[in-house]
Amino acid sequence: MREDEWVIGVVGGSGLYAMDALENAQSIRVESPWGDASDELILGEIAGKRFVFLPRHGKGHRIGPSQLNSRANIDVLKRAGCTDLLSLSACGSLREELAPGDFVIVDQFIDRTFAREKSFFGSGLVAHVSMADPVCPSLSDRAEAAAKAAGAPVHRGATYLAMEGPQFSSRAESELYRQWGCDVIGMTAMPEAKLAREAELPYALVAMVTDYDCWRDDVAEVEVHDILATLRANADMAARTVVEFARALPDTRAANPLDTVLDMAIITDLAVADRALMAKLDAVAGRVLASRGI
């Protein structure tokens, strides 16, 4: 693999369990020291660019949001050589102007999850990455342009409320999140975005609106059967978005500032760091550990 080559990891959300546009596709299972990923990786090419697809919930939607092993998912994508991550995720709308069927390019998060492992680092090897700007702006630019080229109604800039689930919100919660300034709500983008940052993978999120959350008094509360038709339509549009994304990529990838965020994030003296944890970080933090002679 060349240093200036794109390898785009695509994490497919609800309704998006395959990527038919992939040419020369092959499925591989990548082992991770963090446990089992959601499914096999599907490797292939679109418009001459390398892509790696992972269905976030597994084929057939077997894994619930709280049971997702996001550490393993990000780790195996890193091991597969991914340079950037494009996340596709179903969401509910907290704003009238964000209608079912719309695509939203998220730029901020509020993380209200509580039952998930949120970092590769911990006791024995401590690191603190910045999440002030949690998505890659240039990758988000490309995602926005691709969604528009695919024909999707697109909104740029939104705050995503990540809830634990699997239940949907109460009306009181939905109203509270609106007061906080949140725009969309979902169950899967956290800790995925945090872990991508720790793995030095530039990350963009296309949130696909399936329904209005339950803050509206003029409609019934959210039910799964009500959103399935929109989910299927969104999945078709998401697949077209990925194709347009691939077509617009330049032939070479320029260095991204997010490629080296761990340089200033690890604060543990590696001479006393936990060796077992360092071994598990061979993919996620291998670059920076190697630069320090580990």
* Domain-wise residue ranges, the chain: 7-291
The answer on pLDDT for 82 being more than 70 is: yes
Q: According to the model, what pLDDT value does residue 80 have?
A: 98
Q: pTM of the full predicted structure?
A: 0.96
The answer on pLDDT for 113 being more than 70 is: yes
Q: According to the model, what pLDDT value does residue 208 have?
A: 95
Write the pLDDT tens digit of every residue in 134-181: 999 999 999 999 999 999 999 999 999 999 999 999 999 999 999 999
Burial 148-180 (b: 16+ CB within 10 A, else e): ebbebebbeebbbbbbebeebbeeebbeebbee
Q: Which residue has the higher pLDDT, 231 or 120?
A: 120
Average pLDDT, the chain: 94
Catalytic residue among 211, 236, 259, 269: 211
pLDDT average, residue stretch 197-217: 95
State the helix-helix crossing angle for 224-248 and 137-150, rounded to 10 degrees.
Answer: 110
Q: According to the model, what pLDDT value does residue 261 have?
A: 98
pLDDT average, residue stretch 53-70: 96
Q: Are 65 and 176 in contact (CB under 8 A)?
A: no
The top-level CATH class assigned to 7-291 is alpha beta
Token pair of 78 as six digits: 């890193």
What phi and psi values does residue 85 have, to the nearest 5 degrees?
-125, 130
Catalytic residue among 213, 236, 263, 274: 213
CB 232: neighbour CB atoms within 10 A? Answer: 13
Q: 240: pLDDT confidence band, cut at 50, 70 and 90?
A: very high
38 Cβ contact list (under 8 Å, min separation 6)? 54, 55, 56, 57, 58, 63, 68, 69, 72, 73
Active site residue 259: no
The answer on pLDDT for 34 being more than 80 is: yes
Q: 293: pLDDT confidence band, cut at 50, 70 and 90?
A: confident
Q: According to the model, what pLDDT value does residue 114 have?
A: 97
State the helix-helix crossing angle for 189-198 and 70-79, rounded to 10 degrees.
Answer: 40
Q: How far apart are CA 84 and CA 86, in angstroms?
A: 7
Active site residue 75: no
Q: How far is CA 207 from CA 40, 41, 93, 148, in A?
A: 23, 22, 10, 14
What phi and psi values does residue 4 have, to the nearest 5 degrees?
-105, 20
User: What is the percent of the chain where pLDDT is above 90?
Assistant: 87
Q: 230: pLDDT confidence band, cut at 50, 70 and 90?
A: confident
pLDDT average, residue stretch 78-96: 97
